[in-house]
Amino acid sequence: MKTDNRDVVWITGARRGIGAAVARELAEAGKRLALSARRAEDVKELQTELREHTDVGIFSCDVADRASVTDCAQAIADEFGRIDVLINNAGVGVFKPMLELSPEEFDAMIDVNLRGVYNCTRAVLPDMIERGRGDILTINSIAVQASFANCTAYGASKAGALAFNRSLRAEVREQGVRIMDIFPGATATAIWSDDMLEEFGERMMEPRDVAQAVREMLETSRRAVVEELVLRPRRGDL
């Protein structure tokens, strides 16, 4: 049987926004795609759209739930044989003054944006190390590069993920695994309130701007790694 050398890319939280844009961009680049969402049926339409270009599997995965992540990684490996690239995209953002943020909202951001990165990375890394090859790219945020009000928990969760990835990069660089982070500035997706999109949407980036940068990071020669990339709207932060 002929082996298929095209990379298998797992994108978490692929239903909409940046995740869906990365899926479209990487389908165009000829990657094979494993799209996960909390409910697999939410990515069915995207699967139908992208199947014209490439192999696309859909999977259920709540990144905050370790059992769900383990099951999803196993299901992807069963369908595609391996996972070459993990895109840690799933994320939640609630932007409010600290005292207005509920403890549940705080926990949700840590659970998805930090624990989720750990859960998914842990699920794919052993096989990448064994094969001596793999890429793990996290959609981090400009919120760790600059300080913004109303971003305490979001910024803390993303800063935690960055510290995690910086340490992991040092651990696995000799083993052929590249750890990458992109820090997008404001991008027009549903993570923002309707009011913010109405007021600032025009100066925000589009999800496909971030997706193109992600593709370029992945396509950089394997002798090199784009460790961290800041991508801001041309007109700067909001």
Write a three-state SS string for 1-37: CCCCCCCEEEECCCCCHHHHHHHHHHHHCCCEEEEEE
Least distance in Å: CB of 4 to ligand NAP? Answer: 27
- The minimum distance between CB 100 and ligand NAP, in angstroms, equals 19
Smallest distance, Å, CB 63 to ligand NAP?
A: 4
Q: What is the contact mask toward ligand NAP in residues 153 to 192, using x (rule: CB under 6 A)?
A: -------------------------------x-xx-xxx-
Residue 26 in contact with ligand NAP, rule: CB under 6 A: no
146/144 Cα distance (integer angstroms) = 6
Residue entry with tokens 């799209």: 35
> Residues 136-155 vs ligand NAP: string with x where CB under 6 A?
---x-xx-------------
Which residue in 194, 210, 238 sits closest to 11, CA to CA?
210
13 is a site residue for ligand NAP (CB under 6 A): yes
Asked if 64 interacts with ligand NAP (CB under 6 A), we say yes
Residues of this chain that bind ligand NAP (CB under 6 A): 12-13, 15-19, 37-38, 61-64, 89-93, 112, 139, 141-142, 184, 186-187, 189-191
